Amino acid sequence: MFQVVTRFPPSPTGHLHLGGARTALFNWLFARHYQGKFILRFEDTDQERSKPEYVTSILEALKWLGLDWDEGPYFQSQRLELYHQFAQRLLEEGKAYYCECSKELLEEKKKKRLELGLKPGYDKTCRDKNLGPGEGRALRIITPDIGDIVVEDLLRGRIIFSADEIDDFIILRSDKTPTYQFAVVVDDITMKITHVIRGDDHLSNTPKQILIYKALGVNPPFFAHIPMVLGSDGARLSKRHGARSVLEYREEGYLPYALINYLARLGWGYGDEEYFSVKELIEKFSLERINLAPARFDSDKLLAVNTYWIKNSPSEVLLEHLLPFLKDYSIFRFSKEYLILAIETIKSRTKTLKEMAEMLHFYLVEEIDYEENSARKYLTKAIGPYLERFFLDLKDLSLEEQELESYFKNLAQTSGIKLKDLAQAIRVALTGKSVSPGLFEIIKVLGKERVEKRLKKALEFIKNL
């Protein structure tokens, strides 16, 4: 039975950014949709630029996004013997040869060919020398001089490349490390990859890789080259467009499934629907729905998607994602029920988890601080007696919204003060600010003991004016 197998092969030369995360997502969704396998491997043969800290960062980002893998992570740096075996096979079958041309000589050849109006490819000097391995010698694959190389792309249809555009390219460098083109083909063969879904910036690599597949007598996988993600100005996406690494979005308070939702919609669509759970994406994802026009990153749209999911996620789920933002509070002092009720009062008012944590502050501290302007404006000598009245009546009040509303309206009417002024004074007394979630919600969540304590502090503040 045919099993779909996809892969995500990042180079650990930097953190995982949005473009790479979207490529990983599309491969993951495709594999999950068909109950296939998703393989993770690191293309780390560039020893100078590959760093262990980037491996750690990429793994952390993928785990945070929930893009789990079925095999791996594999590392190309640990598979060198395998590449050598495949290279030796091509050499023995007369499909590859050693080249002793130095870098300087190759540059000289290139210059002369350009001067003669020829293409700057390798001139096959060593093809018939029958050289063996030796110091300074690289292994080149023999490419056809005429004919076409056909790429059957699942998104773009048939793409034809002329064979004379491709010279005898190196598959094993003189230091015995494999080139990207060779290593990726050997990896995809041995890992039984069925579908290669990657950015269209790799399209120019595909004919060379097809030649390697043919030389090894293996049918290539299915290719699907997805459009790049661009900035709002149409240029390649970068930090100047507001794009950050995946982990930076985590630190800014974005939900992983909100980021997944947004990344999926960058170039893929399902009618007019905007919001998808991960489960829905797995069910509905298909390559046919990928748009061939380059997607454009919009930081405002990403924030809007995050806002939607904060508003529409269960508060219990939000609490799990909020915990890293609450590490400065001793939240073990509070019950889970208390924290969930507090979240309920603010989640429709915030756009990120970071904002949510800031808004939760007054729920999580023993002593609140007053905003200077708010305290000066609302905690006045004139309002003091009415705060004291509320303080005294509180023990006999129900904290249900309807009864609290009726109580405050009656207190305002009988006292001849504006309900707004009374409510704002109590709001500042309880939160330290003049802007907060609904007053009745706050009172109910805080409970009588905390409300009494904060009213007492406010009365003391007024007394000392």
What DSSP line would sit under 49-74, residue for residue?
Answer: T--HHHHHHHHHHHHHHT---SEEEE
Report the distance separating Cα 67 and Cα 240, nearest Å: 27
Q: Which residue has the tokens 């933002």?
A: 325
> Which sequence positions are flagged as catalytic?
239
Structure tokens at 111: 């210059």
* Non-local CB neighbours of 388 within 8 Å, separated by 6+ positions: 459
Reduced to 3 states, what is the DSSP secondary structure of residue 100?
coil
Question: From CA 329, how far away is CA 338, in angstroms rounded?
Answer: 14
The rounded distance, in Å, linking the Cα atoms of 322 and 385 is 39
Check if the beta carbon of residue 207 is closer than 8 Å to that of residue 234: no
**DSSP notation for 107-149:** HHHHHHHHHTT---S---TTTTS-----TT-EEEE---SSSEE
Give counts: helices (H), strands (E), the chain.
19, 12
Q: Are 352 and 373 in contact (CB under 8 A)?
A: no
Strands of the sheet with 222-226, listed across from one edge: 157-162, 148-153, 222-226, 195-199
